[in-house]
Amino acid sequence: MMGLFGGAMLMLAAWLVEVLFGYPDWLYRRIRHPVVWLGALIDGLDRALNRPALGHAWRVVLGAAATAATVALAVCAAVAVSALLSESMPGFCVEAIIASSLICSRSLYHHVAAVSGPLAAGDLPGARTAVAHVVGRETAQLPPDGVARAALESLAENTSDGVVAPLFWGVVFGLPGLAAYKAVNTLDSMIGHRDARHAAFGRFAAHLDDAANYVPARLTGLLFALVSFKPEAFAVMWRDARRHRSPNAGWPEGAAAGALGVRLSGPRSYGGAESAEAWLNARAGDPGPDDLRTGLALYCKALFLAALVLAGIATLQWAQ
């Protein structure tokens, strides 16, 4: 039992706040966002500690120390907030509002929908501009099917990273678990790259993120497969997930590929260099605008099922 109701009730309340209101622009203009605060800390540690002259081994050690310090600070702040607020109903509500800032189901939907609209209207430059906000690959030369594929991959992977994983760790450990996960995921996105600068310094962060997403990624794939009512979603996920470059992203992406009857992943360009990635559901065709709209509908159905599961867990926690 955590506070008054437990982690599931807190996550359910936080998720409801996030779905209804998101993170207000006026608040962002005034205080930015917790992830921005984490990013500033990580950037400062990166610049101060990640020095090539130190050598590979020392950079691995210092990167692990920076990762541990960032996660510890996020957890300590969350523990303090939780201890201060969670013993009363008003405090629980404030804690849920704070927790809502670390979930991004609403913003993920809007970012992908912003790609779907121009793509369906034949506005390829507009669709490329929109998809550049949600993927790290080069988008300037992407054909329409490439834009749709990039958006669907981002939707599938970020359903796990941005929604299911935060909720999962929040259910298990409350606000501190949610904050710890968000710190780990932000560290991975900033320093968990395999480029020359971060291969050593970000090594521990990348492995920690892989571990933190192991269960949520598979749960996300299961959600997609279940709500699709298609055996192909289970089959493609099970067969192709391990072919993905990531130990986790292949599960939600594979399930989405099978559910939508399209192929995902495959070759792409990063920083001018071609990356020969394996296809997921290789025998299927390339996605188009209609598939992107169907993918958004699949996303909503999967999150509805997740909400039902979360409500069931919350009910059991409340009854204890």
Answer yes or no: is pLDDT of 283 > 60: yes
Residue 234 forms part of a structural domain: yes
pLDDT confidence of 272, banded at 50, 70, 90? low
Alpha carbon 106 to its chain's center? 12
CA distance 211 to 216: 10
- Please give the Cα distance from 225 to 199 (Å, whole number): 34
The answer as to whether 214 is a domain residue is yes
Residue 1 confidence (pLDDT) above 50:
no
Q: How far apart are CA 145 and CA 222, in angstroms?
A: 25
Domain containing 308 equals: 7-319
The answer to whether residue 152 is domain-embedded is yes
Helix (H) or strand (E) holding 28: helix 25-31
pLDDT at 254: 97
Residue 213 neighbours by CB under 8 Å, 6+ apart? 160, 161, 165, 185, 248
Q: What is the per-residue pLDDT across 5-37, written as a single tens digit (0 to 9) for each?
A: 689 999 999 999 999 999 999 999 999 999 999
For residues 198, 40, 163, 118, the Cα torsion angle rounded to the nearest 10 degrees is -90
**48 located within any domain:** yes
Look at residue 67 and tell me if it is in a domain. Answer: yes
| Residue 1 domain flag | no
**For residues 176 and 80, is the Cβ–Cβ distance under 8 A?**
no
Q: Which residue has the tokens 């927790």?
A: 99
Tens of pLDDT along 97-144?
999 999 999 999 999 999 999 999 999 999 999 999 988 777 888 899
Q: What is the 3 state secondary structure string of 132-189?
A: CCCCCCCCCCCCHHHHHHHHHHHHHHHHHHHHHHHHHHHHHHHHHHHHHHHHHHHHHH
| Position 2 in a domain | no
- Residue where the block lists tokens 């071609």: 274
Q: What is the mean pLDDT of residues 151-166?
A: 97
Q: Strands 264-265, 273-275: parallel, antiparallel or unpaired by DSSP?
A: unpaired
Nearest by Cα to 259 from 242, 288, 281, 282? 281
Distance CA(282)–CA(146), nearest Å, equals: 15
Counting residues of the chain whose pLDDT is more than 90, the rounded percentage is 83
Cβ atoms 108, 163 nearer than 8 A: yes
Number of compact structural domains in the chain: 1
Q: Is residue 100 a part of any domain in this protein? A: yes
